[in-house]
């Protein structure tokens, strides 16, 4: 087939494509983007384990993250994610977290689990949206809508939550059941005795409202302190100053 004939076929194909076909392709691309978190700021070494993969790789500024992705922020590194509703989530160095849901900006919930490290959330104050925005640790769940707060999770799973604007509801997190122990050789056991009936354990066992310029601490055992006020002076450090500067740029 000569070049002239190939060029003629190409022109005919383009001519037959209606504006509606082109618009449909654009709409399809936009629909794929729903539920993704894009990178707003990346500095240092950030590793990501994408859902369904088994190999960690470096996170790039043009990447997007979805539910099921796991991220580690390295030493002297920082990461900011922009969610579909324009909420911001920032993560300090030496932080490990997993995204459960990124939401779609309208109805879907946002859920992130912080295993260890520090995160700062500036949640969109969009009205008329019935959904949850939650950051959880092993011992607590902080659910918000339209506020600014941060959560620190230590190596021993203790946590600190401080609220800067608005209010949040902090609840105790459910603990996974322990795996059954291996069966050993037969041993002599004591006779039957009366035991307490089963007790339902839910996140509603304790829920505390934490308001602007208040903090709450959660111990490694999941016990929560009473909310107390904190001052800007005791709170101030380089991480806090950087986040407030980023918020002011919005």
Above 60 in pLDDT, residue 178? no
Alpha-carbon distance of 155 to 215, in angstroms, equals 19
Q: What is the DSSP letter of 204?
A: G
Among the listed ranges 22-36, 148-162, 166-180, which one has the minimum average pLDDT value? 22-36
pTM, rounded to two decimals: 0.74
pLDDT at 146: 79
Name the pLDDT band for 44 (thresholds 50, 70, 90). Answer: very high
How high is the mean pLDDT of the chain? Answer: 79
Spell out the residues 6+ positions from residue 49 whose beta carbon is closer than 8 angstroms to its own.
55, 56, 69, 70, 71
Please compute Rg for the chain using Cα positions.
24
pLDDT at 126: 67
Backbone angles phi, psi at 107, to 5 degrees: -125, -30
The predicted model gives 101-122 an average pLDDT of: 87
**SS3 label, residue 227:** coil
Alpha-carbon distance of 157 to 172, in angstroms, equals 13
Tens-place pLDDT, residues 194-208: 444 434 434 447 999
Answer for the pair 81, 89: CB distance below 8 angstroms, yes or no. yes
Q: What is the DSSP letter of 74?
A: -
Alpha-carbon distance of 154 to 179, in angstroms, equals 24
Q: What is the DSSP letter of 242?
A: H
All structural domains of the chain: 33-174+203-248 (2.60.120.1440)
pLDDT at 84: 87
Greatest extent of the chain over all pairs of C-alpha atoms, in Å:
95
In total, the chain counts a number of residues equal to 250
Answer for the pair 146, 170: CB distance below 8 angstroms, yes or no. no
**SS3 label, residue 163:** strand
pLDDT at 183: 36
Tens-place pLDDT, residues 64-111: 999 999 999 999 999 999 998 889 999 999 999 999 988 775 667 889
Alpha-carbon distance of 189 to 166, in angstroms, equals 56
């Amino acid at each position: 087939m000569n070049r002239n004939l190939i060029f003629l076929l190409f022109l005919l194909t383009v001519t037959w494509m209606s504006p509606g076909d082109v618009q449909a392709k654009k709409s399809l691309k936009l629909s794929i983007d729903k539920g993704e978190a894009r990178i707003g700021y990346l500095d240092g070494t950030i590793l990501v384990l994408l859902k369904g993969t088994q190999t960690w790789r470096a996170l790039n500024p043009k990447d997007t993250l979805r539910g099921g992705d796991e991220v580690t922020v390295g030493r002297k590194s920082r990461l900011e994610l922009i969610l579909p509703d324009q909420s911001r989530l920032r993560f300090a160095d030496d932080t490990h977290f997993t995204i459960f849901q990124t939401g779609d900006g309208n109805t879907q919930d946002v859920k992130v689990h912080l295993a260890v490290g520090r995160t700062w959330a500036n949640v969109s104050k969009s009205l008329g949206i019935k959904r949850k925005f939650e950051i959880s640790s092993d011992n607590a769940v902080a659910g918000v809508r339209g506020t600014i707060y941060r959560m620190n999770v230590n190596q021993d799973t203790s946590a600190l939550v401080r609220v800067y604007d608005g209010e949040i509801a902090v609840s105790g997190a459910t603990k996974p059941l322990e795996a059954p122990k291996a069966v050993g050789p037969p041993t002599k056991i004591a006779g039957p005795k009366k035991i307490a009936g089963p007790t339902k354990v839910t996140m509603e066992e304790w829920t505390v409202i934490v308001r602007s310029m208040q903090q709450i601490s959660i111990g490694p055992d999941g016990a929560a302190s009473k909310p107390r006020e904190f001052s800007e002076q005791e709170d101030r450090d380089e991480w806090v100053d950087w986040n407030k500067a980023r918020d002011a740029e919005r």
